Amino acid sequence: MPGLIKFANRKNNLLLWVALLSVVFLSYYPASSEVKPPDKFPTLADTLQVVEKITFKIDLYLWQNFMPGPEESGPPFYISLQLSVKNNDKKKVVGLKAIELTLYPENSKKPFHTFRLVSEDPDAPVEIKPTQEEYFTFTNDRREIFSPKLDQDSKFYARIKVVWNGKERILTSPVVGVESTY
């Protein structure tokens, strides 16, 4: 690698510098992979979870839009994740956000698809004080169109990567069906 850097500097080769920096960047920041499956399959009780004294109520909605439109790739698949978060800790929860979600078919540990999540609320709370409850809504990044061919009765559960106070945690949703809009 040092020889390559000397060559890039000596030849003032911009393209080589870009390639070199890309390799370094990708080695430190790997592409997104799925959120690992749980040890046991989820149940309806997983709607409510407590992680480090923080209570999460998880509502996951999945649907595929079959309405006529400009999408050439097929009917887009959408996610809406709603989290009700209550802080039962003595410390503030800072910067809570769901960043990634992997869907798994019902009773399966084989990932179906991983989505990057974005907040639907530009005014989402930045911190949650002790005893306070806040609500968050996330959706899949709509710039990336995903259009799977599904059976009519397809059901999935999600593994959700959530970050707060600078640490990642994993939540599991209960199994939900996929709605269709026509």
What DSSP string describes 39-64? Answer: SS---GGGGEEEETTEEEEEEEEEEE
The per-residue pLDDT for range 73-96, each reduced to its tens digit, is 778 999 999 999 999 999 999 999
Quick one: pLDDT at residue 21? Answer: 35
The pTM of this model reads 0.78
Biggest CA–CA distance in the chain, Å, is 63
What are the extents of the domains in the chain?
A: 1-31, 44-181
Q: What is the pLDDT of residues 114-170, one digit of tens each?
A: 999 999 888 888 899 999 999 999 999 988 888 999 988 999 999 999 999 999 999
Among the four given CATH numbers 3.40.50.720, 3.40.33.10, 2.60.40.10, 3.30.1360.120, the one describing domain 44-181: 2.60.40.10
